Amino acid sequence: MATQVQVQPQASSISAANGSAVAAAVAAGNTGGSGNQFVTTSLYVGDLELNVTDSQLYDLFSQLGQVVSVRVCRDVNTRISLGYAYVNYSDTAEAARALDVLNFTPVNGKPIRIMYSYRDPSIRRSGTANIFIKNLDKAIDNKALHDTFSAFGNILSCKIATDPSGQSKGYGFVQYDNEVSAQTAIDKLNGMLLNDKLVFVGPFLRRQERDSATNKVKFNNVFVKNLSESTTKEDLEKIFGEYGIVTSVAVKSDDDGKSRCFGFVNFENPDDAAKAVEALNGKKFDDKEWYVGKAQKKFEREIELKERFQSMKEAVDKVQGVNLYVKNLDDSIDDDKLREMFSEFGTITSCKVMRDPSGISRGSGFVAFSTSEEASRALAEMNGKMVVSKPLYVAIAQRKEDRKARLQAQFSQMRPVAMAPSVGPRMPMYPPGGPGLGQQIFYGQGPPAIIPPQPGFGYQHQLVPGMRPGGAAMPNFFVPMVQGQQGQRPGGRRAGAGPVQHNQQPVPLMPQQVCC
């Protein structure tokens, strides 16, 4: 099946006003390109559909050369595909041809992404020749981005960031095999129109580098919170005035004039504002620990909180499957002993015994390994093992939300299904020829007999429904007597009715109703 590209090709995806720059770069023969110095026979195949198998990839890649091995990487416990695989060829030329021909080919309806695989991850992690592109049109996919940036050099990796549903987030990354190609792409494409949207192209910065770059931004306005209610504008002027010339001070209050415990201080010199933030942030005044920082607009705070939440989520996802929860620990086990117990299974990145505020062990803790294989081996070996006369419980650590959802699912399966109430008649009636009076009407019972008298009602004989006192039996209908219901009206008492009056007269059974 041929690859279907839904985005406009390179020539049309770049606006006509800026197309000459790309054309000039192409004509220059990939300016600064020094050839692919990372030639290898191993290919990384990413963006796999979860049901893709080894045999499918072998059939696909063996069309372009002799495939030595194919492996789809899977989760150790669930055996579910992790979405990527490795394909090894016997010849470098065949690997290069497969990357060129099969890249972005749909497999099970999803385009795959191929790049060279390297044993040493330092090249990829160093960020060398890696550029960042943002404000991309949502219609631009991996192939369109690759086609656009391949004009400036050999691309090692190219990816559009997507959400869980596969929708583009509007930014992506391209890594070249040399810095010259990356800088050329930045110079030629930064500020150009791609699909009628002005894009930013610049060098990739790690989060720490971005944070430090953000901290270097100069500002004059300082935000102060967690003030005491007695702190006034004059107090802020006096405290912050020690660090430079203050142009304005405001303490926010509600409609009643009561302080809302935060305010703003504006400096004339940005360097003075930075000194005040560094000196006063976290300092206590009137038993209140102040927060002092750069004043931000609402959208800036939202972006910062979003990035912080995303980093926390990435950190949690990173340790998913390698972090173990250990329960039923003896009180004598501390962090060092817990680490010593699990150290034989691999490299431990963190180890902690949970304790209450008084320092007493809660009997549980966490052990994180460097790989999921090590964690799986420790789980298999240590779960149920006796340690200081107590069996350990070891399991994969879960977030509170995941654990709650799993328990709710188990509880819903355990709850019994409510049975529909019976809708049968309350007074079964039998046609002529049915059982005689006093006969049992249950299957498997013995021969009919006279209903024995039941004690506890003050009389020996029972009033048989269907008969009038002193009269003949009604031949056509019969209401069975059930043990435990004698002396009550058929069908039970009505709601709200008074106590049952046992004033019926004893009725002797007629001779013709007695069964011999």
Whole-number pLDDT of residue 401:
72
CA distance 473 to 510: 9
Tokens (6 digits) for 180 = 């010259």
Contacts with 48 (C-beta within 8 Å, 6 or more apart), sequence order: 72, 81, 83, 84, 85, 107, 110, 112
From residue 328, give the alpha-carbon distance in Å to each of 137, 353, 354, 414. Answer: 53, 11, 12, 26
**Coil, helix or strand for 97?**
helix
- Structure letter (DSSP) for residue 299: H
Task: Say yes or no: domain 318-402 is CATH 2.60.40.10.
Answer: no
**Coil, helix or strand for 503?**
coil
Tens of pLDDT along the chain (516 residues) come to: 333 333 333 333 343 333 333 333 333 334 444 444 455 789 999 889 989 999 999 999 999 999 999 999 998 888 899 999 999 999 889 998 998 899 889 999 889 989 888 766 666 666 678 899 998 988 888 888 988 898 898 888 888 988 877 888 889 999 888 889 999 999 988 888 888 888 889 888 876 666 555 556 678 899 999 998 888 888 898 899 999 999 999 998 888 888 889 999 999 888 898 889 888 988 888 888 899 988 888 777 777 777 777 666 666 655 566 888 999 898 888 888 888 888 888 888 888 899 888 888 888 999 988 888 888 888 888 888 888 888 889 988 877 777 777 777 777 776 655 555 555 555 555 455 555 544 444 444 455 544 555 554 444 444 555 555 554 544 444 445 544 444 445 444 444 445 444 444 554 544 444 444
Residue count (the chain): 516
Whole-number pLDDT of residue 304:
73
499: how many CB neighbours lie within 10 A of its CB?
Answer: 6
Residue 295 class from Cβ within 10 Å (0-12 exposed, 13-18 middle, 19+ buried)? middle
Q: Compute the Cα dihedral for 470, 472, 477, 478 and give only its sign.
A: positive
CA distance 176 to 237: 53
Model pTM score:
0.40
Residue 299 class from Cβ within 10 Å (0-12 exposed, 13-18 middle, 19+ buried)? exposed
From residue 118, give the alpha-carbon distance in Å to each of 42, 158, 353. Answer: 8, 16, 38
Whole-number pLDDT of residue 457:
45
Beta bridge partners, 162, equal 168
SS3 labels along 157-184: EEEEEECCCCCEEEEEEEEECCHHHHHH
8 Å CB contact between 9 and 15:
no
Element containing residue 395 per DSSP (H, E): strand 393-396
Start and end residues for every CATH 3.30.70.330 domain found in the chain: 39-119, 120-217, 218-295, 318-402
CATH of 218-295, one of 3.40.1010.10, 3.30.70.330, 3.40.50.2300, 3.40.430.10: 3.30.70.330
> Which residue in 52, 311, 7 sits closest to 168, CA to CA?
7
Beta bridge partners, 194, equal 14, 197
Q: Concatenated DSSP letters for 335-358?
A: HHHHHHHHGGGS-EEEEEEEE-TT
Under CATH, to which class is 120-217 assigned? alpha beta
Tokens (6 digits) for 74 = 């899977």
Q: Which amino acid is at 276?
A: A
Q: Compute the Cα dihedral for 480, 483, 489, 491 and give only its sign.
A: negative
Tokens (6 digits) for 183 = 């800088």
From residue 442, give the alpha-carbon distance in Å to each of 71, 136, 246, 439, 490. Answer: 69, 80, 100, 9, 18
CA distance 169 to 113: 18
CA distance 330 to 385: 13
Beta bridge partners, 395, equal 325
Tokens (6 digits) for 140 = 């631009």
User: CATH second-level architecture of 39-119?
Assistant: 2-Layer Sandwich (3.30)
